[in-house]
């Protein structure tokens, strides 16, 4: 059985490992345009700052492909021929035939809709090639961690519209590194691009269209804490700034960003307004793609074409609220990769996603969320507590009727598995407050959270301009 | 403000002296030269005409060059601690642990051994135990010590140290009390990312550390035997502890000077700060066994790891922490010294050091992921 996997990100590699574990002799081919080695995309920011090397962010040792007998093809897939059962490649390379195929090609950065978004000095922070571009703009080049192996091997077999093309470096044109970067888009990649610029000793602009930072996840008080932290580090946080254009000088390199509040100097711009499924190359492949660009899959992660599976950021999966859309998270991609791997083996494994949870780190403030938060359900109420003193944290518990339906937690560490259990057990707020410290995952010597049991006043729904939600609790 | 995780980003790989550049190699060479003089300057006297460290100690009014070494050691730990706390002091665990390292070094590693002889006593390092301090169980060492000190050494080495490791893991010693560990975690901290994470290095460590342990136990046994039968068997006595090529001298030279000093510390900037502790320390080998059956472990929060590699990169013992974290496996590795850096560096709060026996609940937790192999 010939297995072909497009993409050697976490979904693709987990699938490959799953197949290899059971079938030591099946030929497995992994096609990747971006890199020779599987790496952790979430860790690009640390390579930029110099906290880790390229090798450090690779979860497998570099001999893993040889040891596991995985054939690597470094090229851009341009089409899947579902009749002939083969994957076409750019660069005049021979098509790769398959018996079972997994499409795990991930996301690409959402392009900027503004004039000037393609100028030298404007880029993203999603791919390895984006990292190389941003490092050159700010640092003038890579650190002692060096470059990944074969950084430009893909250029022989790629197309002009690829997200893995190198972008033009304005710093080279200008003859000096960027002094005043700007980041457009207040989400997780945006704050990463900000943090690394701060670590490089710069004072970046941060243009956020919404009323506060990351409204999809935070409410105003929480977002203000993060924004204050950024400002302490010299970040110019511009809220409610709608970008109108990115402007360049006579040399064609970026010089400023114009918003509805005027023009701001900037010599390097990172556009981080989200990611979209990296699937436009599938046009004409007879595999269904939904209007958002995701590849709809059933619970086995099978696509509309026979023997073709899809997993990770590019697949539209069934969410716990029954909607069908991509789940762009590291660990869901990993789990989907394992299920897809079982599918490639011919098993009928099912992918089911329980209650939503996620975590992040915003500057030095850790964030954990579980369940329905900012869902904007009409009857949703919030219990909010701000801990001040040596340990600073915020605790927001979302309540509907007499049961707790969500947690939004900043500053401390929490065990999401305990919180999920409580949601499933339909615990009331009073019970949760009494037991809250049992879900703590703080490091040793961090004192317990003193929960003010008396003050349990609930507030109405947090105002939110972004997400309208369903009216019933889906679990 | 207290936070638990890394505050701000590190620029480790953008600093040449921390990455085996010529400056790193020069620092390493200087340390090695220093150690060679410290141990063997008497042998070089014929060539260079003097003993610089001995001379320097005398001109400073110190009794011998080991006090000078103790002083420099204390300065290195204190200076390294300031450097460390500037970067990682926002976590209580780090603050406490490093402060204890400094206090132990100031009190037990430097002041007490300096003061005791002034009152006519015998100098004694209360923070070291056999087999790390290998001569502390030699019969003539014990015979020289006052009774209470001899008891302290015997009970400490054979009972207290392993017993504490049952309840707290080896960290109570290796990262809180031990002077070698103290130096590694302060002065040596800038190079902690250099420790090899390869599978090969893990295999080497398991082999080498047990060889040294065997040699340490055998040497102690032979020297003990020598004190009983040495008088009647002069050849045996000569081979075990008589000449400058005896078993005793050989152990002191190879393990005490070369592996612990020249390799263990001199190669900080090339091999990372725990080369001695990880590969050779016989005390670490014993406490590692105890740790495997004891309470200490690193708990992994399931299904939250993003495989970024911060934990593995900053593990000074070369443990691939990420491989456990991404497979939702709480674990105890014999080599782990419990410095806490993996939990500190983790950007998703996945790791937690704890002293607790496994419960049924812990085993259930590991089944939570969608598919387990």
Query: pLDDT tens digits for A133-143?
Result: 999 999 999 99
Contacts of residue A363, defined as CB under 8 A and 6 or more positions apart, other chains included, come to A191, A195, A226, A229, A230, A233
- The Cα–Cα gap between A307 and A322 comes to 25
Query: pLDDT tens digits for A205-233?
Result: 999 999 999 998 999 999 999 999 999 99
Contacts of residue A43, defined as CB under 8 A and 6 or more positions apart, other chains included, come to A52, A56, A57, B306, B307, B308, B309, B310
The predicted pLDDT at position A464 comes to 66
Q: Does A94 have pLDDT greater than 50?
A: yes
Per-residue b or e along B120-148, where b marks 16 or more CB atoms closer than 10 Å to that residue's CB: eeeebbbbbbbbbbbbbbbeebbeebeee
Q: Cβ contact (<8 Å) for B10 and A21?
A: no
The predicted model gives B207-234 an average pLDDT of 94
Which chain A residue has its CA at the smallest distance from B311's CA? A56
- DSSP codes of every residue in B304-315: ------HHHHT-
The predicted model gives B208-212 an average pLDDT of 97
Q: Does A380 have pLDDT greater than 90?
A: no
The predicted model gives A435-444 an average pLDDT of 96
In terms of Cα–Cα distance, which of A327, A368, A286 is closest to A11? A327
**Tokens standing for residue B158:** 């054979």
- DSSP codes of every residue in A370-410: EE-SS---TTEEEEEEEE-SSB-EEEEEEEETTEEEEEEEE
- The Cα–Cα gap between B132 and A278 comes to 57
The predicted pLDDT at position A357 comes to 94
On whether any CB of chain A is under 8 Å from the CB of B201, the answer is no
CB-closest option in B9, B198, B354 to A196: B9
- The Cα–Cα gap between A228 and B156 comes to 51
On whether any CB of chain B is under 8 Å from the CB of A334, the answer is yes
Planar angle of CA A245, A251, A257, nearest 5 degrees: 20
Check: CB of residue A347 under 8 Å from CB of residue A341.
Answer: no
- The Cα–Cα gap between B314 and B273 comes to 11
Q: Which of A413, A421, A449 to mutate to test binding with chain B, by most B CBs within 10 Å of its CB?
A: A413
The predicted pLDDT at position B364 comes to 59
Query: pLDDT tens digits for A163-209?
Result: 999 999 999 999 999 999 999 999 999 999 999 999 999 999 999 99
Q: Does B367 have pLDDT greater than 70?
A: no
Q: Which residues of B touch A21 (CB under 8 A)?
A: 373
Interface list for B 280-339 with A (CB within 8 A):
301-310, 312-313, 322-323, 326
- The Cα–Cα gap between B180 and B66 comes to 15
Looking at this predicted complex, what is its ipTM? 0.94
Q: Does B363 have pLDDT greater than 70?
A: no
- The Cα–Cα gap between A233 and A179 comes to 16
The predicted model gives B264-284 an average pLDDT of 96
pTM for the full predicted model: 0.94
Q: Rounded to 5 degrees, what are φ and ψ at A396?
A: -125, 120
CB-closest option in A56, A335, A441 to B349: A441
Instruction: Please report which confidence band the pLDDT of residue B371 belongs to, taking 50, 70 and 90 as the band edges.
Output: very low
- The Cα–Cα gap between A339 and A352 comes to 10
The predicted pLDDT at position A374 comes to 81
Q: Does B317 have pLDDT greater than 60?
A: yes
Which sign, positive or negative, has the C-alpha torsion A429, A433, A434, A436?
positive
The predicted pLDDT at position B362 comes to 63
The predicted model gives B28-41 an average pLDDT of 94
The predicted pLDDT at position B368 comes to 45
CA atoms lying within 13 Å on the CB side of residue B10: 26
Residue A182: CB atoms within 10 Å:
29
- The Cα–Cα gap between B2 and B139 comes to 49
Which chain B residue has its CA at the smallest distance from A388's CA? B1
Q: Which residues of B touch A195 (CB under 8 A)?
A: 9
Partners of A297 in the beta sheet?
A: none
On whether any CB of chain B is under 8 Å from the CB of A446, the answer is yes
Query: pLDDT tens digits for A232-260?
Result: 999 999 999 999 999 998 888 999 999 99
Query: pLDDT tens digits for B93-146?
Result: 999 999 999 999 999 999 988 888 888 777 889 999 999 988 889 888 888 888
Instruction: Please report which confidence band the pLDDT of residue B372 belongs to, taking 50, 70 and 90 as the band edges.
Output: very low
Q: Cβ contact (<8 Å) for A368 and B349?
A: yes
CB-closest option in B96, B308, B370 to A445: B96
Query: pLDDT tens digits for A296-312?
Result: 999 999 999 999 999 99
The predicted model gives B212-236 an average pLDDT of 93
CB-closest option in B306, B343, B370 to A339: B370
On whether any CB of chain B is under 8 Å from the CB of A56, the answer is yes
CB-closest option in A144, A368, A415 to B16: A144
Higher pLDDT, B263 or A321: B263
Peptide bond into B131 cis (omega under 30): yes
Report the SS3 class of residue A207. Answer: strand
Q: How far apart are the first and last CA of chain A?
A: 40
Planar angle of CA A147, A152, A158, nearest 5 degrees: 150
The predicted pLDDT at position B269 comes to 97
**Tokens standing for residue B362:** 């812990």
The predicted pLDDT at position A463 comes to 66
The predicted model gives B48-67 an average pLDDT of 87
On whether any CB of chain A is under 8 Å from the CB of B13, the answer is yes
The predicted pLDDT at position A205 comes to 98
- Contacts of B201-210 with C-beta under 8 Å, sequence gap 24+, read B201/B318, B202/B318, B204/B279, B205/B278, B205/B279, B205/B318, B205/B335, B208/B279, B208/B280, B209/B278, B209/B279, B209/B280, B209/B281, B209/B282, B209/B284, B209/B285, B209/B288, B210/B285
Q: What is the four-CA torsion angle of A453, A455, A460, A462, rounded to 10 degrees?
A: -80
* Cα Dmax for chain B: 72
Check: CB of residue A23 under 8 Å from CB of residue A1.
Answer: yes
The predicted pLDDT at position B121 comes to 75
Distance from CA of A468 to the nearest CA of B (A): 27
The predicted model gives A340-363 an average pLDDT of 92
Q: Cβ contact (<8 Å) for B91 and A443?
A: yes
- The Cα–Cα gap between B283 and B255 comes to 12
On whether any CB of chain B is under 8 Å from the CB of A364, the answer is yes
- The Cα–Cα gap between A474 and A372 comes to 9
The predicted model gives A20-44 an average pLDDT of 96
Distance from CA of B143 to the nearest CA of A (A): 42
The predicted model gives B181-192 an average pLDDT of 97
Q: Does A419 have pLDDT greater than 90?
A: yes
Contacts of residue A136, defined as CB under 8 A and 6 or more positions apart, other chains included, come to A169, A171, A172
Q: Cβ contact (<8 Å) for A43 and B9?
A: no
> Which residue bears the tokens 């990463």?
A192
Q: Which residues of A touch B96 (CB under 8 A)?
A: 445
**Tokens standing for residue B195:** 């420790």
**Tokens standing for residue A391:** 């340990």
Contacts of residue B266, defined as CB under 8 A and 6 or more positions apart, other chains included, come to B28, B31, B32, B34, B35
Question: If you average pLDDT over every residue of chain B, what do you get?
Answer: 91
Planar angle of CA A106, B308, A16, nearest 5 degrees: 50
The predicted pLDDT at position B373 comes to 32
Report the SS3 class of residue A357. Answer: strand
Percentage of chain B beyond pLDDT 90 is 74
CB-closest option in A50, A338, A357 to B14: A50
Report the SS3 class of residue A83. Answer: coil
CB-closest option in B308, B352, B368 to A441: B352
In terms of Cα–Cα distance, which of A319, A270, A271 is closest to A294? A319
In terms of Cα–Cα distance, which of B353, B356, B332 is closest to B341? B353
Q: Which residues of B touch A45 (CB under 8 A)?
A: 9
Higher pLDDT, A453 or B175: B175
Interface list for A 396-415 with B (CB within 8 A):
411-415
In terms of Cα–Cα distance, which of A272, A266, A273 is closest to A236? A266
Q: Which residues of B touch A61 (CB under 8 A)?
A: 198-199
Q: How far apart are the first and last CA of chain B?
A: 42
Residue A227: CB atoms within 10 Å:
23
The predicted pLDDT at position B118 comes to 81
Report the SS3 class of residue A320. Answer: coil
């Amino acid at each position: 059985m010939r297995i072909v996997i497009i993409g050697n990100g976490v979904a693709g590699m987990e699938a490959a490992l799953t197949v290899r574990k059971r079938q030591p002799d099946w030929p497995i081919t992994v096609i990747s345009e971006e890199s020779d080695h599987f790496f952790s995309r979430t860790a690009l920011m640390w390579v930029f700052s110099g906290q880790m090397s390229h090798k450090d962010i690779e979860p497998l040792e570099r001999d893993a492909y040889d040891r596991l007998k995985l054939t690597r093809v470094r090229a851009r897939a341009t089409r899947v021929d579902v009749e002939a059962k083969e994957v076409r490649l750019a660069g005049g390379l021979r098509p790769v035939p398959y018996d079972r195929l997994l499409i795990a090609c991930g996301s690409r950065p959402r392009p900027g809709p503004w004039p000037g978004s393609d100028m030298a000095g404007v880029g993203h922070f999603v791919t390895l090639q984006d990292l190389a571009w941003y490092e050159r703009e700010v640092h003038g080049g890579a650190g002692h961690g060096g470059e990944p192996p074969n950084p430009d091997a893909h250029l022989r077999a790629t197309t002009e519209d690829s997200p893995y093309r190198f972008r033009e470096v304005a710093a080279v044109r200008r003859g000096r590194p960027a002094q005043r970067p700007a980041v457009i888009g207040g989400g997780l990649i945006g704050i990463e691009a900000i943090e690394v610029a701060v670590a490089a000793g710069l004072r970046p602009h941060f243009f956020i269209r919404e009323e506060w930072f990351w409204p999809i996840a935070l409410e105003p008080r929480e977002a203000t804490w993060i924004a204050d932290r950024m400002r302490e580090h010299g970040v110019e946080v511009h809220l409610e700034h709608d970008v109108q254009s990115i402007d360049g000088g006579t040399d064609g390199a970026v010089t400023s960003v114009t918003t509805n509040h005027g023009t701001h100097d900037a010599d390097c711009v990172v556009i981080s307004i989200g990611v979209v499924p990296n699937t436009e190359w599938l046009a004409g492949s007879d595999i269904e793609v939904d209007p958002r660009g995701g590849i709809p899959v059933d619970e086995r992660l099978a696509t509309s074409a026979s023997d073709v599976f899809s997993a990770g950021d590019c697949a539209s999966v069934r969410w716990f609220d029954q909607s069908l859309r991509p789940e762009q998270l590291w660990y869901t991609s990993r789990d989907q990769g394992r299920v897809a791997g079982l599918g490639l083996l011919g098993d009928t494994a099912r992918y089911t996603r329980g209650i939503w949870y996620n975590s992040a780190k915003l500057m030095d403030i850790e964030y954990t969320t579980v369940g329905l938060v900012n869902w904007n359900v009409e009857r949703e109420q919030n219990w909010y507590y701000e801990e001040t003193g040596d340990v600073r944290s915020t605790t927001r518990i979302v309540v509907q009727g007499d049961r707790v339906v969500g947690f939004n937690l900043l500053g401390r560490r929490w065990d999401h598995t305990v919180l999920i259990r409580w949601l499933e057990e339909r615990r009331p707020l009073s019970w949760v407050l009494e037991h809250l410290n049992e879900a703590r995952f703080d490091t040793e010597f961090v004192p317990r959270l003193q929960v003010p049991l008396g003050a349990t006043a609930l507030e109405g729904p947090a105002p939110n301009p972004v997400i309208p939600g369903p009216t019933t609790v889906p679990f | 403000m207290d936070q638990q995780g890394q505050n701000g980003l590190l620029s480790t790989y953008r600093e040449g002296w921390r990455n085996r550049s010529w400056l790193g190699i020069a620092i390493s060479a200087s340390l090695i030269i220093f150690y060679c003089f410290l141990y063997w300057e008497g042998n070089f006297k014929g060539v260079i005409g003097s003993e610089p460290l001995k001379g320097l100690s005398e001109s400073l009014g110190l009794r011998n060059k080991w006090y000078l070494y103790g002083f420099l050691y204390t300065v290195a730990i204190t200076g390294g601690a300031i450097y460390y706390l500037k970067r990682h002091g926002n976590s209580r665990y780090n603050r406490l642990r490093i402060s204890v390292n400094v206090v132990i070094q100031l009190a037990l590693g430097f002041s007490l051994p300096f003061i005791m002889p002034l009152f006519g006593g015998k100098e004694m390092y209360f923070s070291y135990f056999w087999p790390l301090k290998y001569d502390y169980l030699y019969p003539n060492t014990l015979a020289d010590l006052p009774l209470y000190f001899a008891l302290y050494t015997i009970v400490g080495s054979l009972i207290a140290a392993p017993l504490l490791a049952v309840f707290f893991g080896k960290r109570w010693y290796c990262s809180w009390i031990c002077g070698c560990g103290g130096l590694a975690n302060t002065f040596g901290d800038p190079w902690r990312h250099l420790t090899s994470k390869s599978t090969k290095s893990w295999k080497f460590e398991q082999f080498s550390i047990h060889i040294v342990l065997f040699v340490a136990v055998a040497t102690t046994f032979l020297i003990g035997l020598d004190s009983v039968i040495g008088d009647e068997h002069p050849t045996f006595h000569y081979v075990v502890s008589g000449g400058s090529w005896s078993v005793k001298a050989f152990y002191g030279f190879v393990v005490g000077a070369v592996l612990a000093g020249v390799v263990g510390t001199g190669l900080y900037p090339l091999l990372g700060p725990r080369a001695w502790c990880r590969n050779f320390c016989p005390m670490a080998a014993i406490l590692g066994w105890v740790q495997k059956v004891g309470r200490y472990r690193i708990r992994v929060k399931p299904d939250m790891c993003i495989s970024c590699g911060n934990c593995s990169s900053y593990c000074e013992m070369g443990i691939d922490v990420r491989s456990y974290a991404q497979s939702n496996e709480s674990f105890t590795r014999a080599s782990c010294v419990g410095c806490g850096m993996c939990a500190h560096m983790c950007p998703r709060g996945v790791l937690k050091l704890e002293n607790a026996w496994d419960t049924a609940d812990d085993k259930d937790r590991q089944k939570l992921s969608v598919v387990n192999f």
